[in-house]
Amino acid sequence: MIELQDLTKRYGDRTAVDHVTVTVPSGRVTALLGPNGAGKSTIMRLVLGLDRPTSGTALVGGRRYTELRNPLRLVGAHLDARAFHPRRSGRAGLLALARYNGFSPARVREVIDEVGIGAVAGKPAGTYSLGMAQRLGIAGAMLGDPGTVLLDEPVNGLDADGVRWVRALLRRWAGEGRTVLLSSHLIGEVELIADRVVVIGRGRLLADATPAAFTAGQEAVVDVAAADEHSFTLLTEALGAHAERTGADRLRVRGLDAATVGRRAQHAGAVLRELRTDAPGLEEAYVRLVEDETEYVAVTR
C-alpha cells in the first residue's frame, strides 16, 4: 500500500503537487492519470525518496522509502525507459543493478526471460527500440520481486502486443497481491489497464475512483447522423447549442435525450440516418474533469 498524506511539493513558486491525500491499495492496478505537467512524475519521485516533499508524507507499507532497509526487495520502479547506460548491454546493466543490490545473476536471467528481451540482452541498451527499452526498465523493476511497483508511462512506445503484455503483467502482479501504480497521460491506456484511476490536474487530486464509478455520474450523450446535407443543416439549427459537430453529417448532443432529439429532427423535417445514446466513456469523463481543473471533484467508490 502507498499512502500519500497531504503531500505537497513546490519548486520555487511553482506547486507541482498540491496537498494530495490518496491511498493506493495492494492487489489492484492503480493509474495516476493527468495531462503533461500535472505532477505525476513528481509524485512518483516523492514516493521513491528521489525528492523531498515540501510538506506532507509519502509512505510505502507504512514507512518512508528512505527508511527502508532493502528498498529494491520492497519497491520496484521504472521511471525512465532510457535510464540504462546506452553503451552497456541490457544484460550488463541488469547484472550491475543486481550485484549492487545483492541479487543473483540467475535472477537477472529470469527477469530477462520474463520480459522477453533475451534476443537483444547482449546488445547495447542505447540501440533498443523504445518498446525494448521499456521492457528492460520493467525487468529492472522486477529484480527484487517487490510487493510494490511504480511505473512511469510504462506503455509509452509499445506496440499493441507490447501494451497487451504490460496489461497482462500488471494484472498478474495485482492478482498476486502487489501494489501496482502506473502513470499515464493517455486515458485509453488507463481504461484498459487500471482498476482504479487517480486523476491529477495541476498538482491537485481531481478524482479517485474505479473507472466505472468515475463515469457513473456523467450524463450520457446522443450521437446523431443526418441522411443528407439539407437534413444536416436543419438538424443543426433544431439542436442549437446542444450539438457539436463531430463529422461531415454527424452531431454529438448533450443535455437532450434521444427521444427529444428525434422529435426535434421530425419537427424540423430532418431525415436521420442514425440516432443512438452513448454511455459516457472514461475519456468523456476525464476530458470534462481536466477541462475545469479549478473544480475539486471527489468521486467515491
Of residues 180-239, those binding ligand ATP (CB under 6 A): 185
- What does the block give as the cell for 184? 499515464
- Which CB, 4 or 239, lies closer to ligand ATP? 4
Alpha carbon 148 to its chain centroid, in Å, reads 17
Stretch that binds ligand ATP, among 10-18, 99-107, 240-248, 284-292 (CB under 6 A): 10-18
In the complex, the smallest distance separating the C-beta of residue 172 from ligand ATP, rounded to whole angstroms, is: 26
Residues touching ligand ATP: how many (CB under 6 A)?
12
In the complex, the smallest distance separating the C-beta of residue 39 from ligand ATP, rounded to whole angstroms, is: 4
Distance CA 65, CA 143 (A): 17
In the complex, the smallest distance separating the C-beta of residue 215 from ligand ATP, rounded to whole angstroms, is: 22
Stretch that binds ligand ATP, among 36-44, 56-64, 124-132, 217-225 (CB under 6 A): 36-44
- Which CB, 119 or 291, lies closer to ligand ATP? 291
Strands 148-152 and 75-78: parallel
Out of 11, 113, 212, 216, the residue judged to bind ligand ATP by CB under 6 A: 11
Nearest to 101 by CA among 77, 123, 82: 77
Does 80 participate in binding ligand ATP (rule CB under 6 A)? no
In the complex, the smallest distance separating the C-beta of residue 100 from ligand ATP, rounded to whole angstroms, is: 25
Does 39 participate in binding ligand ATP (rule CB under 6 A)? yes
Out of 28, 40, 78, 264, the residue judged to bind ligand ATP by CB under 6 A: 40
Of residues 114-153, those binding ligand ATP (CB under 6 A): none
In the complex, the smallest distance separating the C-beta of residue 184 from ligand ATP, rounded to whole angstroms, is: 8
Of residues 148-187, those binding ligand ATP (CB under 6 A): 185
Does 41 participate in binding ligand ATP (rule CB under 6 A)? yes
- Which CB, 183 or 231, lies closer to ligand ATP? 183
- Which CB, 36 or 300, lies closer to ligand ATP? 36
Out of 4, 7, 16, 199, the residue judged to bind ligand ATP by CB under 6 A: 16
Instruction: Give the end-to-end CA distance of the chain in Å, rounded to a whole number.
Output: 17
Nearest to 194 by CA among 204, 176, 179: 179
Q: What is the 3-state secondary structure (H, E, C) of the chain?
A: CEEEEEEEEEECCEEEEEEEEEEECCCEEEEEECCCCCCHHHHHHHHCCCCCCCEEEEEECCECHHHCCCHHHHEEEECCCCCCCCCCEHHHHHHHHHHHHCCCHHHHHHHHHHHCCHHHCCCEHHHCCHHHHHHHHHHHHHCCCCCEEEEECCCCCCCHHHHHHHHHHHHHHHHCCCEEEEEECCHHHHHHHCCEEEEEECCEEEEEECHHHHHHCCCCEEEEEECCHHHHHHHHHHHHHHEEECCCCEEEECCCCHHHHHHHHHHHCCCEEEEEEECCCHHHHHHHHHHCCCCCCCCCC
In the complex, the smallest distance separating the C-beta of residue 129 from ligand ATP, rounded to whole angstroms, is: 21
Out of 2, 4, 20, 38, the residue judged to bind ligand ATP by CB under 6 A: 38
- Which CB, 89 or 184, lies closer to ligand ATP? 184
Interface residue list for ligand ATP (CB under 6 A): 11, 14, 16, 34, 36-42, 185
